[in-house]
Structure 1
Amino acid sequence: MIITQTPFRMSFFGGGTDFPGFYKEHGGAVISTTFDKYCYVNVRHLPRFFDYSTELSYSRIERVTDVEAIEHPAIREAMKYLDMQEIRLTYEADLPARSGLGTSSSFAVGMLNAFYALKGKYADKRKLADDAIYLERVLCKESGGVQDQIAASFGGLNRINFNADGYEVNPVIISPERKAQLNRNLMLFFTGFSRFSSDIQKTTQKDMADKERQLLEMLSLVDEAEKVLTTKTDLNEFGRLLDYTWKLKRGISSGISTDSIDGLYAKGIEAGALGGKLLGAGGGGFLLFYVEEDKREAVAKAMEDLLYVPFQFENSGTRVIHYTAEMYEKR
């Protein structure tokens, strides 16, 4: 039996520049972090006592005798890709799917990590990220960028650079005290709205050709934000840059925000938040605010109709938290 634990991510700057159509021509970069909310994938070989050979438990239960009959596209394609047979897979998560935190990519990374471990094979973090990108973007033909899979695999607060040759992951060098202060100044709220990221991404991808100027400016903000974090610049500038990059992102596609989201964001700013953004592709999910300590209570009151989700940054990325080897002979 294998159990993997894979964190969710929040992306601060550069979202949209991780689309291959953009970064292969202009380069791209994001600053993101993983935090202590996880998805768990439990995989074992299914005992041969049933009239089905594969059992899957996620938001629903599937029991099939043929891998091709699996309805969940990522599980089906991953099982075919790695030749997985006769398994029982269970998925659990600390936060809901389709909420802007890269949940589907964290699941893909965690599932691949579990599959490799069940086969007795080691896959490093880059291998898992690359395979998850291939699974979602090629095998499942889902629209989107490639930052989520990388963040979930590597973990930590990173600047991820993209170019025509691939990507590199560079940890943001920041003192523990400054990093803790940043963590304290961020407040996360669930709006209750969920949507399929790939649907938003399809629209966004079409709009990107006309929004090159905004994306180039969003890319330049990655440098500015990294400078704020790694120098003695007032940390509150990070919050103001979040506000600026959110307004730029809203201009890329009509699907990124809604009147309800705009209203909630305005309430947070009026209550004292210096900046913030809707996490993920847009359309709903989690609102993140940067709030000075003496304004936290006022912002919490302004958002009292939403679920507040406290969190801590994490550095581990995906990992196997339980490993029991199994003897298995293919039929």
Structure 2
Amino acid sequence: MLLGIAPLRISFGGGGTDLEEYHNIHEGFTISATINKFTYVFVRIRNDSKIQSFSPDFATHLPPKVIDKITPSQGHEIVLTCLKEMKFNKGADTFFFSDVSLGSGLGASSSLTTNFVKVILELQNKKWTKSKIAMKAYSIGHDVLKWGIGKQDEFASAYGGINLYKFTKDKVNVTPVSLKKSTLKELQNNSLLFHMGSRGHSSKVLKRQVTNIEKSSKKTLEALYNTKKIAVQINDALKQNDLTAFVELINQGWKEKKKHASGVTNKRIDEICKIAFNHGAEALKVTGAGGGGHLYMYAKPSKHKKIEQALKKIDVKNIPFEFIDKGAKVNHIENL
């Protein structure tokens, strides 16, 4: 039996410029960090040619059938599509789940797809580069499942760590961000993550961004240009161990992100942000495409309790987390 574990991510800046509708014409830049929240995939080879799939997150079970006769329910379309696209021709039992709920804004769907691709490669005894794994996972999500997604989440999950990603028409460059241990510790100690409630799949918001890009919306294109510039500046600030500049850039990035498309923010998110700032937050941004999910926040540790208590009153839950530097991995589990 194999266990695949793939991390989720917090995007600090540049989101939206990883959409191929944008970076096929303009360069895109994003910067993100993987965290100790994961997707998990268990796969066991069967003695027949049937596929069986379990998902506790969706409370669903697909009983054993030949893959072409299975009608996928929510979540399982990722499993079945990965098996088909990777030309996996054996029977298997799969069991998959995540540390976060649907619509987290932390790249869970892309992490799960990346995870399945890596597990299937292990079963096929194939060795691919991290870049090739990420691109295959992206192709499955974008081209086959028709999610309106960008590329940063698959690359973040495959590579792990804090990285600056440069997107062009034919290539994705991944540059690790080296931080002093003291700076990383300070960043960790000042960082908070809150769950605001589910928002559904990010593709709805992202598809509105794509429409704005294709229509050459001046407001959207200017915001995306500023957004990618901020991503590069965040990279520079972190390399220079300048967290004061990091804070300012996170806030600038959130202001620009709200101009990408309708639905990035709403009245509830605006109210949550207002309460957070009133209780000591220095910077914040919604992770992912927006519209709900999780809120990343930067505040001095002495302010954390006040912020947590204030947001708890409106059903916004603190999610403890740590930054990690490892990407997707596969473990062999024997003799359980």
TM-score by length of 2: 0.91
The farther-off stretch of 296-305 and 1-10 is 296-305
- In the TM superposition, 1:225-240 aligns within 5 A as 225-233=234-242, 235-240=243-248
CA distance in 2, matches of 1:251, 1:317: 31
- CA 265–145 in structure 1, closer or farther in 2 if over 3 Å, else same: same
Q: Is 1:259 equivalent to 2:256 in the alignment?
A: no
The farther-off stretch of 142-151 and 299-308 is 299-308
Please name the residue that 1:31 is paired with.
31
CA distance in 2, matches of 1:142, 1:223: 27
CA distance in 1, matches of 2:333, 2:168: 36
Please name the residue that 1:160 is paired with.
165
Deviations 1:181-216 (A, max 9, x none): 111111001112331111221112112331111110
The Cα RMSD (Å) is 1.7
Deviations 1:33-78 (A, max 9, x none): 1011111100111244xxx921101121112423132413322221
Q: Is 1:268 equivalent to 2:265 in the alignment?
A: no
Any conservation in 1 of the 2:205–2:262 contact (CA below 8 Å)? no
Deviations 1:59-112 (A, max 9, x none): 211124231324133222211122223110100221112210000000001111
Q: Is 1:74 equivalent to 2:74 in the alignment?
A: no
Q: Is 1:134 equivalent to 2:143 in the alignment?
A: no
CA distance in 1, matches of 2:261, 2:64: 40
Q: Number of matched residues?
A: 321
Please name the residue that 2:225 is paired with.
216
Q: What 5-or-longer segments of structure 1 have no aligned partner?
A: 326-331
Match of 2:176 among 171, 178, 195: 171
Q: Secondary structure at the match of 1:266?
A: helix
Any conservation in 1 of the 2:179–2:241 contact (CA below 8 Å)? no
CA distance in 1, matches of 2:124, 2:262: 45
Match of 1:125 among 119, 122, 130: 130
The farther-off stretch of 100-109 and 125-134 is 125-134
CA distance in 2, matches of 1:223, 1:200: 24
One-letter code of the match for 2:14? G
Shift of 1:323: 5.1
CA distance in 1, matches of 2:168, 2:97: 34
TM-score by length of 1: 0.93
Deviations 1:94-143 (A, max 9, x none): 11122100000000011111111112222331221011011111121211
Q: Secondary structure at the match of 2:197?
A: coil
One-letter code of the match for 2:239? T
CA distance in 2, matches of 1:258, 1:130: 32
Q: Is 1:247 equivalent to 2:255 in the alignment?
A: yes
Identity %: 28
Any conservation in 2 of the 1:64–1:70 contact (CA below 8 Å)? no
